[in-house]
Structure 1
Amino acid sequence: MESFIYQMTFIVTFVSISILAIRKSMQVASTDDFAVAGRTLNAPGVSWIIIGTLVGGVSTIGTVQTAYTHGISAAIFTFGSGVSCFLLGCFFAKALREEGVVTVSEYLGKFFGRNFRYYSSAINSLGMFIHVVGQFLASIAILQAVFALGDTLSVLLTMLLIGIFVISGGIAGAGLIGKIKFFMLYLIMIISAGVALYNGGGLPKILSQLPQDIDMLGFADYGIKTATVDMFSMIVGVLSTQIYLQAIFSARNIREARNGAFLSAVIIPPIGVFGIVVGLYLRANHPEISANPAQALPYFLHQCFPPVIAALFSAGILLVVLGTGAGLVLGVTTNLFHDFLQGRAGMLQRIRPIRLIRMSTCAVLVLASMLVFTGLDSTILKWSYMSMGLRGSTVFAGLFIVIFFKRFAESKVLLMLLYCLPILYVLLNI
């Protein structure tokens, strides 16, 4: 009976929230509405999109998982996210917004040529595509914890739910999901951290019960070099990712774009702190999770809250995960449509643009679900850092040159270096 109440509460909560997002589909009439919301967003609207995509399974399930296995090194993702958003507002928002482009590759193509636009768009899309895998893994962890589903059904259901969010509302739907996610996520993580501290007898007692053979409060076991590379990858990855910059492109003006980035920089890092508290509590008191640490947060919710509350929170976490996956898929689709498909001659001209972009979304989702089956046992953060590094090596250097050293943009040597950076990154990480 308790399991039935839990599952029904989960379903009702999630369906109710999803209906709010789907209603946004009524406002999407063109590809401009779909991709940049008609460039009408204020600062909170910009922030909702960034938060709605950047804060997802990695910031919640992935952070608790890594805190359980490696301690405070789990803060790298959310702290790096905050730093990235701050830098985005300080140095990049003005230049990006005033160009009036839709994709960051389109922006780079104005300075480095059409071929580099296609090259950077393809690899940037691949990076986002890889990040989608992390969201699939987080979603699978929740669905299996709540319904005990198998891998195949969990993947297919995740694909369907992400598809509904993306296809229905585009960037406007991502913004609405981000707004709902913000309030739900803070509520869930603050209460969870509070319960963890209460059940654990306070932070000092939790810390005293951590394994002594592992450096949970430092980076020795995680690796100083690994932590440094992950932080760098995180920062340049955010500053190079289509969907985060797409929020800037969607702003009403430069001021709203900047303020939206600054608001995100303030909001995101505390979420990681709350997740670390939960992860450390679980490591100190529940060693049985070590067999499957990806289930750490769902396990905590199920064990520490009444069924109705646990189901409500689990549904909220699933929304967080799917919202991020939807935003990343939207970024890939925007690149695919605007950089490769739009304006092409032949059979594609017979398809309405808004229908074509939605068809592209379906294709991306199917391919992503196929890739997920190759890494069902992977650490969620592993996929995210790999993704960030790939995106950063492709876009960040060119973006940095254009914004700070534009006079060098015509250098052939520099252009060749920009082509080589992604290849070098892949070779160094094989």
Structure 2
Amino acid sequence: MQIDSILYKTTFIITFALIALLTTRRSSALRSASQFALADRSLPFTGVSWVIIGTLVGGISTMGTVQTAYTHGISACIFTFGSSLSCLLLGCFFAKALREQGVVTVAEYLGNSFGQGFRYYSSALSSTGMFIHVVAQFLASIAILQSVFGFGDFLSVLFTMLLIGLFVGTGGISAAGLVGKLKFFMLYLIMAISATLALYRGGGLQQIISQLPRDSELLSLAHYGAGSAAMDLLSMVVGVLSTQIYLQAIFSAKDVRQARNGAFLSAAVIPPIGVLGLVIGLYLRAHSPELGANSAQALPFFLFQSFSPLIAAFFAAGLLLIVLATGAGLVLGVTTNIYCDFLTRPRGVFQRIPQLRLLRMITSLVLLLAALLVTTGLDSTILEWSYMSMGLRGSAVFAGLCVLVFLKKHHRSRLVLFILYTLPLAYIGLNLC
């Protein structure tokens, strides 16, 4: 589906350029690696929430939810409701312990109790999980760029890599918070208007439901599988509570209270996005069966078919921002892990590289590797990449985190260490079988 309207493309470019300009203005204020990674631990609860939402609510919560609603029905809400539950648990049980430690990475927090060897082990696996999730954002961004400009795979991947690099490399976590704030309001605007239009055109929710294929089982978990749904929800909760960038938002808070309230605010505002995406996906399943072969394009298709070129271009630019901001946050998490857990005391050639330049070099390398990987799986389902990455992150971090928060006195047990080291290997083995 290629849009030829000059007005559409021009509006899209201008909208996105203005957003990018606002973000890059933060780059001149950066003076240190601490500002890049933690904003000097100065974020209020809203800033904490913007960082969390800016990364957690992205292409998976929007394009991925609409896609899965189209193919599997109500199971599409697993991601957003799992995200909300994760933030609630983060605020209730983990924020205090994490913020009081004064660390930069979750692997550093674990390493302080389980040893430096486990710090490197968990950081490497957690970074790999986040890296896989970056690939999911590439896939969502590619779908938008191909819909708007008709780009081929190479150009779509190239522009995605450059734009994510622009967001994360210029302003660090402060830029991630600003982009999160912008995308939050654009996200609600896009999804609320789109879902309202879908309900209007479909004659209401009951009418939409009545027009769904009778044998599709889209209104139950049977089509998706109750077991699969439960595992995806568990992977989602565990993955979020084990991901560097979400916990990095907690580390960046002014104090424990701001950290907790930021997590609670995130938990409150995320679930409606899933419901709105579900409505759009079910409407498209009832009225646009031709999308079946390319369901990843479901949300862009709806925008292009439902609004004037000017409005659709503005929405599509916002949608691209939503996707890229999530990718930028995840890349920031990977960069922080590599820098703080493996290069805290750089040797050799790294000693002569300024801190900020080294951080940006790591960012560029991560993006280049993601771009190379994504070209091997352009037809993958967006949510499949995400759940796999969540499980890998969770197996490497979550168990250790729970031991330190709930079972502190047992953290030096050899049995505990054995379990912590073998869980990720078991998860990888199960996925390879």
What TM-score do you get using the length of structure 1 for normalisation? 0.99
Q: Find the counterpart in structure 1 of residue 91 from structure 2.
A: 89
How big is the shift at 1:2? 6.4
How big is the shift at 1:344? 2.4
Q: Find the counterpart in structure 2 of residue 26 from structure 1.
A: 28
Secondary structure of 1:220's match?
coil
Alignment of 1:303-342 (within 5 A): 303-342=305-344
Tell me which of 252, 255, 258 is aligned to 2:260. 258
Q: Aligned AA for 2:361?
A: M
Tell me which of 62, 65, 90 is aligned to 2:64. 62
Give the Cα–Cα distance (whole angstroms) in 2 for the partners of residues 375 and 383 of structure 1.
10
Tell me which of 385, 388, 411 is aligned to 1:386. 388
Q: Unaligned 5+ residue runs, structure 1? A: none
Q: Aligned AA for 2:38?
A: V
> What is the root-mean-square deviation of aligned Cα atoms in Å?
0.8
Moved over 3 A (4+): none
Alpha carbons 1:46, 1:248 under 8 Å: kept = yes
Secondary structure of 2:5's match?
helix
Secondary structure of 1:24's match?
helix
Alpha carbons 1:342, 1:353 under 8 Å: kept = no
Tell me which of 346, 371, 379 is aligned to 2:373. 371
- Per-residue CA distance 1:352-406 (angstroms, 9 max, x = gap): 1111011000000000001101110000000000000000011000000001101
Secondary structure of 1:292's match?
helix
**Corresponding position: 1:148 with 2:117:** no
Alpha carbons 1:43, 1:258 under 8 Å: kept = yes
Tell me which of 99, 104, 107 is aligned to 1:105. 107
**Corresponding position: 1:216 with 2:218:** yes
Secondary structure of 1:93's match?
helix
Give the Cα–Cα distance (whole angstroms) in 2 for the partners of residues 374 and 421 of structure 1.
28
How big is the shift at 1:345? 2.0
Alignment of 1:29-428 (within 5 A): 29-428=31-430
Give the Cα–Cα distance (whole angstroms) in 2 for the partners of residues 236 and 418 of structure 1.
14
Give the Cα–Cα distance (whole angstroms) in 1 for the partners of residues 207 and 428 of structure 2.
43
What TM-score do you get using the length of structure 2 for normalisation? 0.99
Give the Cα–Cα distance (whole angstroms) in 2 for the partners of residues 28 and 276 of structure 1.
40
Compare 40-49 and 212-221 and name the one that shifted more: 212-221
Give the Cα–Cα distance (whole angstroms) in 2 for the partners of residues 149 and 347 of structure 1.
39
Alpha carbons 1:138, 1:380 under 8 Å: kept = yes
How big is the shift at 1:28? 1.1
How big is the shift at 1:342? 1.9
Alignment of 1:10-21 (within 5 A): 10-21=12-23
- Per-residue CA distance 1:257-298 (angstroms, 9 max, x = gap): 000000000011110110000000000000011110000000
Alpha carbons 1:127, 1:387 under 8 Å: kept = yes
Alpha carbons 1:2, 1:307 under 8 Å: kept = no
Q: Aligned AA for 1:206?
A: I
Q: Unaligned 5+ residue runs, structure 2? A: none
- Per-residue CA distance 1:127-182 (angstroms, 9 max, x = gap): 00000010000000000000000001100100000000010000000000000011
Secondary structure of 2:253's match?
coil
- Per-residue CA distance 1:57-88 (angstroms, 9 max, x = gap): 00000000000000010000000000000000
Give the Cα–Cα distance (whole angstroms) in 2 for the partners of residues 345 and 304 of structure 1.
56
Q: Identical aligned pairs, as a percentage? A: 67
Give the Cα–Cα distance (whole angstroms) in 2 for the partners of residues 134 and 378 of structure 1.
9
Give the Cα–Cα distance (whole angstroms) in 2 for the partners of residues 382 and 345 of structure 1.
39
Q: Aligned AA for 1:164?
A: L
Secondary structure of 1:283's match?
helix
Give the Cα–Cα distance (whole angstroms) in 1 for the partners of residues 373 and 329 of structure 2.
18
Q: Aligned AA for 2:421?
A: Y
Alpha carbons 1:25, 1:168 under 8 Å: kept = yes
Secondary structure of 1:56's match?
coil
Compare 208-217 and 98-107 and name the one that shifted more: 208-217
Q: Aligned AA for 1:259?
A: N
Give the Cα–Cα distance (whole angstroms) in 2 for the partners of residues 252 and 175 of structure 1.
14
Q: Aligned AA for 1:197?
A: L
Secondary structure of 2:102's match?
coil
Q: Aligned AA for 1:227?
A: A
How big is the shift at 1:347? 1.4
How big is the shift at 1:221? 1.2
Query: Matched residue pairs, number?
Result: 430
Give the Cα–Cα distance (whole angstroms) in 2 for the partners of residues 27 and 419 of structure 1.
41
Q: Aligned AA for 1:246?
A: Q
